């Protein structure tokens, strides 16, 4: 029975409770135990039948981890009175509960469930209140029964709680009738898990809903895991065949397969165009993006006297004390004459120098100020909008140009479920410059382009050799495939002339080569040859040495290709935290899942958090903790570049430690020092663009450690995986 609640998270059902033991299968030293796990919140005087195991918490001692819990309804008049007067039943106080028990006796709960009208006969209880009490009791029982139902079919406590919290009292009926809906509605359930559940609840192997679920899952998985905007019919059939396997052709003959796919099209769950099958959101994103690009390219720009841009460009060089190379001058002059232009180039080729120059050239040509203060309190918008996919990339953009820059999400007014800026409420300004375009997926690119107003010029900047977006599409590559879009590629390497061997290495890697001096110690990079067992200690020692020399946590970044494994991101974070920020008496910390956050930890934001705003990829530091926080109180505070953000316990899944992060998460960021392990154990991830992206995150010093053979084999693997997209074809067709 419940003694007191220590913690309960309504969102995922994880709780910690002090309980009194009535009976036990083993001898206990005391009759009070702490139980932890995912289950429905216990209420006073409920009896719980708990199955699980004993665990030893490093701080709180011995606890019973619940794997399966079953509630028994309270018995005895006093217990039933407490139960009915608890916060489960709105509007039922102690006196009303006593009145109910006095009239209905110790079987009051069963009588109410069987026939709610028995409450109406009790003086002072209206039919409305009777209905409310009965509904609450039935609903609570149905949730308990739903959990037991899910446990019986092999669904673990965490997933079971997610399902019950999503479907509430409809859980059992919905899971029996539509088990494949779980794929779409419940994070962590894929086709195989839903299919296994479907078979257990009696869905036939030749059921149409089984085949259609496999179709929708295949297309969604192709988009999210492999970046495809659509699948062809042949590709779709191959994937569905791999999912269903058993007697595929006899269970679902070709004619039936075609009918079922067309059924999804008729329902609007898929869209088909000339044999290409899309999720609706990706169809509208690709076609919308193509239409907007075509509209931009057909836009005419203001013409200046031939000599004027050249004269002003000379003035910009003088005012900024810069002498532009021929290719840089070409890029700047082309950008002011093009409604849409792409600027590409590898590290050290001066892309940021050109962006800054374009801003000043554009401002002088159009005779407006670049000082944000001149626009304060005025209706006239700031004319140049600078944006990038991540907060760190936007910050770099602002630092290199001296002008305001922001994330694309912030520019578009992301509010968690919708964007404020769209075709009806466009971005304001005359020139839009977007950096790190290789990171934009089709969804975000379409949302950005549809918010571009008529007359605004657009410059897209990126490095085509970096990793493509995590989401579907390879937007930068698709746009570069359209010959009609003006583009300038910067090829001269300026930082190499300043002695950067990191830049030399990066450009060799682009060609699938490694320099002969890779193993030699150089002023700005090293390669430590280590075995897999030696690599983590070397990473740790190198990290500690950098801090010892006065570098900060935000100067040094470990990058790894994978999260799991002996030298994966998760393990590296654990080891660095244990080394530089270990636990000790008096130091505050908060447990979350299998990890721990401590005061002063470096952390990474994992999702967009528009309220503050803080975005996916932003790094900060824990500045305060409240270990005793309950319910909706903040438990942890993080400082992001002078902005403090509070997190409730239920929001801690938005954070991870950030001493190490994946190369994908680091894209768009640069760090003074990068430490990057390269091992054969990562082989399925090791590709040229991934290694190149990791190396080019380093500004001043690069430490590679691991196996030279892994480095060589990774460099030889070009990212040959094409992503299905019709964007370039559509743009060309419509021009």
Task: Give the pLDDT confidence of 388-441 residue by residue, as tens digits.
Answer: 998 889 988 999 999 999 999 999 998 878 899 999 999 999 999 999 999 999
pLDDT band at 88 (very low <50, low <70, confident <90, very high): low
Amino acid 528: pLDDT: 96
Average pLDDT over residues 136-165: 78
Among 537-541, 627-631, 679-683, 699-703, the minimum mean pLDDT is found in 627-631
Cα pseudo-dihedral 127, 129, 130, 133, rounded to 10: 160
The answer on pLDDT for 520 being more than 60 is yes
Surface-to-core class of residue 91, CB atoms within 10 Å of its CB (0-12 exposed, 13-18 middle, 19+ buried)? exposed
Cα distances (Å, whole numbers) of residue 360 to 384, 387, 486: 10, 17, 21
Tell me the backbone φ, ψ of residue 716, rounded to 5 degrees: -75, -20
Where helices occur in 522-622 by DSSP H, the ranges are: 532-548, 569-580
pLDDT grade for 11, boundaries at 50, 70 and 90? low
What is the predicted pLDDT for the residue at 145? 76
pLDDT over threshold 60, residue 497: no
Coil vs helix vs strand at 597: strand
pLDDT, position 91:
67
Checking if the pLDDT of 135 tops 80, the result is no
Work out the average pLDDT over 625-643. Answer: 84
Give the pLDDT of residue 107: 80
Q: What is the pLDDT of residue 455?
A: 92
Say if residue 302's pLDDT is above 80: no
Percent of the chain past pLDDT 70, that is, above it, reads: 96
Tokens 């600027």 locate to 343
pLDDT of residue 495: 56
pLDDT above 60 (res 284): yes
Burial class of residue 52 in the structure, from the number of CB atoms within 10 Å of its CB (0-12 exposed, 13-18 middle, 19+ buried) = middle
Given a cut of 90, is residue 617 above it in pLDDT? no
Q: Is the sign of the CA dihedral 594, 597, 603, 608 positive or negative? A: positive
pLDDT for the residue numbered 243: 92
Instruction: Report helix, strand or coil for 342.
Output: strand
Of 279-283, 375-379, 437-441, the poorest mean pLDDT is in: 375-379
Which residue, 681, 657, 466, is CA-closest to 558?
Answer: 657
Tell me which H or E stretch contains 338: none
Q: How far apart are CA 23 and CA 65, in angstroms?
A: 17
Predicted confidence band of residue 515 (pLDDT cuts 50, 70, 90): very high
Mean pLDDT of 188-197: 92
Both tokens of 679, joined, read 């091992």
User: Is the model's pLDDT at 137 over the cut of 90?
Assistant: no
User: Would you place residue 90 in the very low, low, confident or very high pLDDT band (cuts 50, 70, 90)?
Assistant: low
- Look at residue 720 in the predicted model and tell me its pLDDT: 60
Beta-strand relationship, 405-407 and 384-388: parallel
- Give 498's pLDDT tier (boundaries 50, 70, 90): low
Percent of the chain with pLDDT over 90: 61
In this predicted structure, what is the pLDDT of residue 93? 78
Question: pLDDT of 575-602, one tens digit each?
Answer: 999 999 998 888 888 888 778 999 999 9
pLDDT of residue 124: 75
What pLDDT, on a 0 to 100 scale, did the predictor assign at position 492?
85
């Amino acid at each position: 029975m419940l003694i007191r609640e220590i913690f309960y998270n309504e969102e995922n059902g994880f709780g910690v409770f002090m309980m009194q033991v009535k009976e036990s299968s083993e001898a206990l030293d005391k009759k009070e135990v702490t139980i932890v796990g995912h289950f429905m919140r216990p209420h006073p005087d409920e009896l719980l039948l708990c199955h699980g195991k004993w665990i030893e918490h490093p701080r709180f001692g011995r606890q019973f981890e619940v794997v399966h819990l079953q509630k028994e309804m309270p018995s005895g008049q006093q217990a039933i009175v407490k139960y009915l007067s608890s916060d489960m039943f709105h509007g039922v106080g102690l006196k009303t509960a006593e009145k109910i028990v006095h009239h209905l006796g110790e079987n009051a709960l069963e009588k109410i469930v069987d026939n709610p009208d028995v409450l109406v006969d009790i003086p002072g209880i209206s039919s409305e209140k009777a209905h409310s009490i009965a509904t609450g009791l039935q609903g609570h029982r149905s949730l308990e029964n739903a959990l037991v139902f899910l446990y019986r079919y092999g669904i673990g406590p965490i997933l079971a709680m997610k399902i019950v919290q999503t479907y509430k009292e409809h859980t059992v009926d919905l899971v029996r009738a539509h088990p494949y809906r779980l794929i779409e509605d419940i994070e962590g359930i894929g086709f195989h898990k839903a299919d296994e559940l479907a078979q257990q609840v009696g869905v036939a192997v030749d059921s149409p809903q089984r085949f259609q679920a496999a179709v929708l899952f295949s297309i969604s998985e192709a988009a999210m895991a492999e970046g495809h905007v659509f699948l062809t019919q042949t590709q779709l059939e191959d994937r569905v065949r791999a999912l269903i396997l058993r007697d595929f052709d006899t269970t679902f003959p070709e004619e039936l397969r075609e009918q079922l796919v067309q059924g999804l099209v008729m329902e609007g769950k898929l869209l088909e165009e000339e044999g290409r099958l899309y999720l609706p959101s990706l169809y509208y994103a690709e076609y919308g993006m193509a239409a907007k690009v075509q509209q931009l390219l057909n836009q005419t720009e203001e013409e200046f006297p031939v000599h004027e841009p050249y004269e002003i460009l000379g003035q910009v060089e003088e005012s900024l004390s810069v002498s532009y190379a021929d290719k840089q001058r070409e890029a700047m002059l082309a950008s002011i004459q093009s409604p849409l232009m792409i600027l590409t180039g590898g590290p050290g080729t001066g892309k940021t120098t050109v962006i800054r120059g374009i801003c000043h050239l554009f401002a002088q040509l159009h005779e407006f100020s670049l000082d944000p203060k001149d626009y304060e309190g005025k209706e006239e918008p700031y004319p140049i909008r600078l944006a990038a996919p991540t907060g760190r990339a936007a910050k770099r953009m602002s630092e290199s140009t001296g002008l305001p820059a922001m994330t694309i999400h912030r520019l578009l007014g992301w509010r968690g479920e919708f964007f404020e800026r769209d075709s009806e409420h466009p971005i304001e300004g005359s020139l839009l410059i977007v950096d790190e375009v290789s990171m934009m997926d089709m969804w975000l690119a379409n949302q950005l382009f549809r918010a571009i107003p008529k007359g605004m010029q657009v410059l897209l900047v990126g490095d085509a050799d970096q990793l493509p977006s995590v989401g579907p599409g390879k937007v930068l590559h698709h746009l570069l495939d359209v010959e009609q879009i003006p583009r300038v590629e910067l090829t001269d390497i300026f930082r190499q002339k300043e002695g950067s061997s990191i830049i030399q290495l990066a450009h060799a890697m682009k060609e699938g080569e490694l320099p002969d001096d890779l193993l030699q110690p150089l002023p700005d990079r090293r390669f430590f040859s280590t075995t897999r067992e030696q690599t983590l200690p070397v990473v740790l020692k190198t990290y500690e040495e950098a801090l010892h020399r006065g570098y900060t946590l935000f100067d040094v970044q470990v990058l790894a290709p994978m999260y799991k494994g002996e030298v994966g991101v998760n393990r590296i974070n654990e080891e660095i935290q244990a080394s530089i920020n270990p636990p000790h008496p008096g130091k505050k910390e908060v447990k979350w899942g299998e990890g721990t956050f401590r005061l002063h930890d470096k952390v990474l934001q994992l999702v967009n958090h528009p309220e503050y705003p803080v975005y996916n990829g932003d790094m900060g530091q824990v500045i305060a903790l409240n270990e005793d926080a309950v319910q909706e109180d903040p438990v942890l505070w993080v400082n992001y570049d002078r902005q403090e953000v509070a997190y409730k316990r239920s929001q801690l899944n938005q954070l991870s430690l950030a001493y190490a992060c994946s190369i994908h998460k680091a894209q768009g960021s640069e760090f003074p020092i990068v430490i990057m392990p390269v091992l054969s154990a990562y082989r399925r991830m090791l590709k040229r663009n991934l290694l190149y992206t990791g190396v080019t995150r380093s500004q001043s010093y690069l430490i590679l450690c691991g196996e030279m053979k892994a480095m060589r084999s990774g460099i030889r693997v070009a990212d040959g995986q094409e992503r299905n997209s019709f964007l370039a074809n559509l743009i060309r067709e419509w021009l």
